[in-house]
Amino acid sequence: MKLTLGFRKFAVTCVGACVLAVAMTAYAQDAPAQEAHGIAVANMDRSVKPGDDFYEYANSEWIKRTEIPPDRAGVGVFTKLSDLSNKHTAALIEEIAKSNPPAGSGARKVADLYNSYMDEATIETKDLAPLRPHLDAIAAIRDKRELAHALGETLRADVDALNNTNFHTANLVGLWVAPGFNDSEHYTAYLLQGGLQLPDREYYLADNEHMHNIRTQYQVHISAILRLAGFSDTDARATRIVELEHAIAQTHRSLADNQDIHKANNTWTQADFATKAPGLDWTEYFHGAGISQQARFIVWQPEAFTGESALVASTPLDTWKDWLAFHLIEAYAGVLPKALADERFAFFGKTLSGTPQQRPRWQRGVFMVNGLLGDAVGQIYAQRYFSPEAKAQAQAMVANLIAAYRKRIEALSWMDPATKAEAEAKLSTLYVGIGYPETWHDYSSYEVKADDIFGNIWRGSLSEYRREVARLGKPVDRKEWSMTPQTVNAVNLPLQNALNFPAAILQPPFFDPLAPAAANYGAIGSVIGHEISHTFDTEGSAFDSKGRVRNWWTPADLAHFEAATAKLAAQYDTYKPFPDLSVNGKQTLAENIADVAGISAAYDGYQASLAGKPAPTQDGFSGDQQFFIAFAQNWGSKTREAALRQQVMTNPHAPAQYRADTVRNIDAWYAAFNVQPGEKLYLAPPERVRLW
């Protein structure tokens, strides 16, 4: 019996140590064509006082004229690049598909994968036939030993703890293969809590009307999915599934607590699982997962493993079989007959995100190909859309920002010389990937068929899992990328001490070779500074220059840093996008640190780029004003209420408006806009958070 729930991996997500916010899902109408190279003056409302609401000042006119299309949960300034990247990628895929590439080649796999997804007639003709053998295998499970084996067979390498990718996987457990906390030279196996279909434990546990309604509709959705798949007594089955997931949620660690690296560093041997997490037959589980040979694991949330394993023992077998069947159907509903796909979107799109309409199928096809064969497309994308000149300019800006960061560290009066030396060592060994990776993913073991979308996704998920498992114990490639070139995003990889800046984000409006330095440093410069800053945030500061978990701080330095970050968390706790829902300062702390420190370093880099010369003005705005406006315009957005609520509860990034207003911690912003006491964003100098 072979089971996998890995298709959810290929949804549009955002990594945690990045600069985007997942609720934005950045797709929508573009603003009117840019009239000048630099800040978008047409997006601003100068009647708003910068010191009262800098976000509205920089973005209000854009917000007023922008509508959220019916197939989007939200729109943002990132939209322009995301749409452009997807159009380019779709054109490349269609071009590849028409070129009749040789059998077995990467190009042929891209063509066949995309065509199999677009062939809706064949999907309808096959009906549930591709799913039936797997449902039959679940139905045939006779006891808890066979259940343990079946649960092991669902294990996939579809989570990333540090970057919050699919953190609450619908598999009971998620595998992450990454450099070891304690042996950063070799890949190790991390196991993470899972078992939930809703975005976060709070969706099951929160006691308010909104979440009660979500849970009620979720139960109706489960019943509908099972009924469409031919099950009987679906209401009762749905009730039992929700009750089981509620019990699983009670065992889970919160998103805020998950970011404490020291709580996650728990090494268990295989023998430890039977004594520390009794209830699940772990020998059978690891056999089913194909990792019986793995001697040790890092268990991120021990309490969840203990709790979930106990639930395997205490919950009736038939409930677990229904849970497995539902999650299998749910994971593949997008490539099953339209009735199932529509029901899945009705809940996850309309109910959870407030999105009334699905995106066009070609866009969904692009996302799917990028998830399974991203580098095969990315090689061509990088060659065609990212010039050597653009790469050189971006590399120069990164070097300038790292130099600015180094100067900031050297100038810190509160940091001990020994701690400074370790911080500077991290900067010296930091790998910064610009545009595209130095080596490309090998898809030779992945079999793709032109008429088998279900099998293509099944085999793709399994192929990736086997590739990850094969790396366990092998030396770490510190230059390995976690993103494709066509991704509009950026990431810090603390276990590798590395950054990735894909080609797709290194374009206007973020990076414009013809724009003034002020706009570029405020836009892409703050993004670069943000990612560099993750090297020293609450997570990154736990790792040394070799990616090991090691305390390289003196007690006094650490106390100073923790006091400053606690003040920043308290600042964000005061932000309330809804009367009944506040931003969680602890949950968003790492990203908020990176925003504050990143814009500070970007500002220094901008000043250094002027080399003492006066900055050119734009529409009467000084260079410093352009810099801060460009930063705030990174975050112009409109988001549906349901999606924004989901972001606040489940995402490590604060909502966009509060990210723009983080300028209230920067002294130069006050001078640039003559911000005075009494204005809403004003903070007295002692209250401004200063980190680096």
Q: Which of 497, 520, 691 is nearest to 594 (CA)?
A: 691
CB-CB contact of 274 with 359 (8 Å): no
Q: Could you name the CATH architecture of 392-435+511-633+659-692?
A: 3-Layer(aba) Sandwich (3.40)
- State residue 510's pLDDT score: 87
DSSP β-bridge partners for residue 475? 186
Q: Where are the alpha helices (DSSP H) in 386-514?
A: 388-411, 417-429, 453-471
- State residue 216's pLDDT score: 97
Q: At what angle do helices 317-332 and 209-228 cross, to 10 degrees?
A: 90
Q: Where are the alpha helices (DSSP H) in 447-585?
A: 453-471, 517-520, 526-533, 555-573
Cα distances (angstroms) measured from residue 690 to each of 219, 662, 663: 47, 12, 12
CA 560/CA 228 separation, integer angstroms: 58
Q: Which of 456, 518, 358 is nearest to 37 (CA)?
A: 518
Give the tens place of pLDDT for each residue, 299-336: 999 999 999 999 999 999 999 999 999 999 999 999 99
CA 284/CA 148 separation, integer angstroms: 6
User: Which distant-in-sequence residues (6+ apart) come within 8 Å of 99 by Cβ?
Assistant: 107, 111
Q: Which of 577, 646, 15, 635 is nearest to 349 (CA)?
A: 646
Q: Rounded to the nearest 10 degrees, how much is the dihedral formed by the CA atoms of 191, 192, 193, 195?
A: -80
Could you count the other beta carbons within 10 Å of the beta carbon of residue 469?
19
Query: The whole model's pTM is what?
Result: 0.88
Residue type at 370 in one-letter notation: N
CA 88/CA 385 separation, integer angstroms: 9
Tokens coding 203: 């969706």
Q: β-strands 431-435, 498-502: how paired?
A: parallel
Cα distances (angstroms) measured from residue 651 to each of 20, 63, 103, 171, 299: 10, 23, 42, 20, 22
Q: Which residues of the chain, if any, have pLDDT below 70? A: 1-36, 163-170
CA 553/CA 544 separation, integer angstroms: 10
Cα distances (angstroms) measured from residue 296 to each of 116, 188, 253, 275, 476: 40, 8, 22, 15, 17
Residue with tokens 């457990």: 173
Q: Which of 575, 579, 640 is nearest to 76 (CA)?
A: 640
DSSP letters of 72-99?
A: -SEEETTHHHHHHHHHHHHHHHHHHHHT
CB-CB contact of 589 with 569 (8 Å): yes
CB-CB contact of 546 with 184 (8 Å): yes
Residue 614 CB burial class (10 angstroms; 0-12, 13-18, ≥19): exposed
Q: Which of 255, 59, 28, 69 is nearest to 656 (CA)?
A: 59
Could you count the other beta carbons within 10 Å of the beta carbon of residue 227?
16
Q: Give ∠ CA 519-435-491 in degrees, rounded to 5.
A: 80
CA 278/CA 310 separation, integer angstroms: 6
Tokens coding 514: 């013809």
Tokens coding 301: 């949330």
Q: Going along 381-442, which residue ranges are E strands?
A: 431-435
Tokens coding 88: 């380019």
CB-CB contact of 450 with 115 (8 Å): yes
Q: Which of 66, 76, 60 is nearest to 24 (CA)?
A: 76
- State residue 99's pLDDT score: 86
Delimit the domains of the chain by residue range: 392-435+511-633+659-692
CB-CB contact of 589 with 561 (8 Å): no
Cα distances (angstroms) measured from residue 639 to each of 147, 211, 302, 359: 41, 19, 36, 16
Tokens coding 476: 């770490």
Q: Going along 436-529, which residue ranges are E strands?
A: 491-493, 498-502
